[in-house]
Amino acid sequence: MTSCFCFPTTCTVWGPVKLLFRWGIDLYLLGLAMAVITCPSALIAQATAVESEVHRRNYISQKIRLHTDVEPDRAKRMLRRMEKTLRRISSYWRTPLKGSIECYVVEDINRWPENSFPNPSARALIQFVGGVTLTKMQVDRRKSELKAIVYATPAPGVVEHEVVHAYCFQTFGKHGPDWYKEGMADVAGRLADPRGAARCALEITSYLRDQTFRPVDEIVNSGSFTQPLIDIKNRLAEVTKNSVQTYLAPSLSVWGAPEDEILQNVQSAYRWSWALCHFLVHNPNYSQRFRAYGQGHLDGNGIQFAKWFADVRKELDFEFDFFVRHSRPGYRVELCNWDWSLPRSPLKERAFLNVSVRAAAGYQATGCSVSAGEIYRYRTSGRCCLSQDGAPVTSAGDRSGRGKLVAVVMQNYKLSKEIELGESGSFSAPSSGHLYLRCRDDWGSLADNSGSLRIRLLARPASPSPGLNSNATSERLLEPVANRVSRK
Ligand SMILES: [Zn+2]
């Protein structure tokens, strides 16, 4: 593949600052560009489209000025999604957008004559990289103003991603390290999608699982991984400057297999950045602390990730690994966080522990530490539903095993193999550690579950076996865990 520098899905980039002086008082910070790499072939193939000003319209909302040639209904929906993205990120970073954002969304470049765009490089960038935000600082005698202009194709999520960059630039003038900047733009861009499932796109989650696992440290220390894309952008801009009409041939002639490999690496960095940001934004164990971490970068007070999360790093590393291995469309990080705060103690002989396990959650702490090889007996009651209209099932689960009560033992942040339980019986602990329980269901299908199961655990069964009416030494309902390890 020597002539394609597209990613199968969208990917974005910021670059280093490069100042270009134009018209005396405007500085173009071309290097602060975010590009979404898409396949340009679709645009190129439309070379025969008839240029028509009829297609180009302007749409103005409270915060966005949209210039586009997509058909009106689609343009209005796009504008609503962009506004929604802005509302969400303004709320997340607790700061309203400064000014308004100007966006050009181009479906067919042939409908846009020369000089359609404020920046002459935009034409080539839209065709070759799919999405880009160019920024400038307008300076006059009284004030200076940061201004970002978004250029994008109408591919899903591209313009929302760019709007996040434009918001950060105009509002804060800073963006944090590459992994935070690009990861958060992808996370925030996907939030505007009403389908919760789209938050964990299949092509990304399956890609991550197929890759060698990338630890948190490697992601946060990935540096300026977008630089190769900036180089492409600069090369395209240079070609365009020389000849607008012949931009295609020279750029393809200088593109080869080494560049393809570079882009594969960049693409990988984007996906791992999304994964870490998505996980940290949504996991209630770390979300508040992560918000403060990012806010520090946007406010210009860079914080070292390692220091900021030092006291919860083992927990964070474990949960991120778990997220990568289990995420899929429909996966909800906030339902699958682990409870690290519940004190655990061994069950004394003949003692009972009553716990309740919610169906709409991942593994839930019991507060019971078990010993390897020890036998534990249990009995259960209650029913849960595995979908909104589904029939209730007991802890035996349905015919396919969904809803069945299962357990794992955690020792030193490692999990045992899953232990299948059921309505009643006994099990041998495969290792020593903290016992966790859950109602088995697909990890992408927990959100619509309801109900809970009650479990009574007994250590070292006495004879005769006590029933469920025996006095319990402790009783606990496993509540959702919210930021128990978060800093305020
Ligand atoms: Zn980006």
pLDDT tens track for 103-140: 999 999 999 988 899 887 788 778 766 788 888 877 77
Helix 257-282 to helix 202-210 angle, to the nearest 10 degrees? Answer: 110
* 486 has a pLDDT exceeding 60: no
Distance from Cα 269 to the centre of ligand 1, integer Å: 12
Q: CB under 8 Å to 200, separation ≥6 — which residues?
A: 278, 327, 328, 329, 330, 331, 444
Model confidence, pTM: 0.81
How far, in Å, from the CA of 165 to the mean position of ligand 1? Answer: 6
Please state, in angstroms and rounded to a whole number, the distance separating the CA atoms of residues 241 and 265.
29
How much is the mean pLDDT over the chain?
80
Cα of 382 from ligand 1 centre, angstroms: 48
Q: Which residue has the higher pLDDT, 95 or 200?
A: 95
Q: What are phi and psi of 414, to 5 degrees?
A: -125, 145
DSSP single-letter state for residue 445: S
**Has residue 156 got a pLDDT over 80?**
yes
Does the structure show a pLDDT above 60 at 398? yes
Q: Is 107 exposed, middle or buried (0-12, 13-18, 19+ CB in 10 A)?
A: buried
Percent of all residues in the chain with a pLDDT value above 90, rounded to a whole number: 57
The average pLDDT across 429-435 equals: 95
Q: What angle do CA 119, 123, 129 make, to 5 degrees?
A: 110
CA 172 – CA 176 distance, rounded (Å): 10
pLDDT of residue 236: 65
Q: Is domain 345-477 in CATH 3.40.50.720, yes or no?
A: no
- Average pLDDT of span 384-405: 92
CA of 91 to the centre of ligand 1 (A): 20
How confident is the model over 250-263, as a mean pLDDT? Answer: 57
Are residues 27 and 124 in contact, defined by beta-carbon separation less than 8 angstroms?
Answer: no
Interatomic CA distance for residues 38 and 130, integer angstroms:
5
Q: How confident is the model at residue 256 (pLDDT cuts 50, 70, 90)?
A: low
The pLDDT confidence band at residue 252, using thresholds 50, 70 and 90, is: very low
What's the pLDDT tens digit per position in 54-75? 689 999 999 999 999 999 999 9
Q: How many CB atoms lie within 10 A of CB 31?
A: 17
366-373 average pLDDT score: 93
- Tell how far the Cα of 129 is from the centroid of ligand 1, in angstroms: 11
Joined tokens for residue 136: 């400038």
Q: Single out the residue of 1, 33, 38 nearest to residue 17, CA to CA.
A: 33
Mean pLDDT over 414-423 rounds to 95
Give tens-digit pLDDT for 458-478. 987 544 444 443 333 344 434
Ligand 1 centre distance from Cα of residue 434 (Å): 41
37 or 223: which carries more pLDDT confidence?
223
How far apart are the CA of 182 and the centre of ligand 1, in A? 5
Domain edges within the chain: 19-308, 345-477
19-308: which CATH number, 3.40.50, 1.10.390, 1.10.30, 3.30.379? Answer: 1.10.390
How many angstroms is it from 324 CA to the middle of ligand 1?
A: 22
Q: How far is the CA of 445 from the centre of ligand 1 (A)?
A: 30
Query: Average of pLDDT values for 297-302?
Result: 90
pLDDT at position 229, please? Answer: 73
| Ligand 1 centroid to residue 14 C-alpha, Å | 6
Give the least confident one: 170-184, 229-243, 272-286: 229-243
DSSP 3-state percent helix, strand, coil across the chain (nearest 5): 35, 20, 40
Q: What is the largest CA-CA distance in the chain?
A: 92
Whether 335 contacts 284, CB under 8 Å:
no
Going from the Cα of 83 to the center of ligand 1, the distance in angstroms, rounded, reads 18
- Ligand 1 centroid–CA 224 distance in Å is 12
| b (16+ CB within 10 A) / e for 17-29 | eeeeeeeeeebbb
For the beta sheet containing 101-105, the strands, ordered from the edge strand earlier in sequence to the opposite edge, are: 19-22, 26-36, 131-139, 144-152, 101-105, 64-68, 57-60
CA angle 286, 84, 294 (to 5 degrees): 30
Q: According to the model, what pLDDT value does residue 258 have?
A: 64
Q: In this predicted structure, what is the pLDDT of residue 21?
A: 27
The predicted model gives 262-267 an average pLDDT of: 80
In whole angstroms, give the CA distance from residue 470 to residue 213: 47
Q: Report CA(442)–ligand 1 centroid distance (Å).
A: 32
Question: pLDDT for 329-353, tens place per residue?
Answer: 899 999 999 999 998 888 877 788 9
Question: Taking 70 as the threshold, does the pLDDT of residue 47 lie above it?
Answer: no
What is residue 6's three-state secondary structure? coil
**Same fold for the pair 19-308 and 345-477:** no
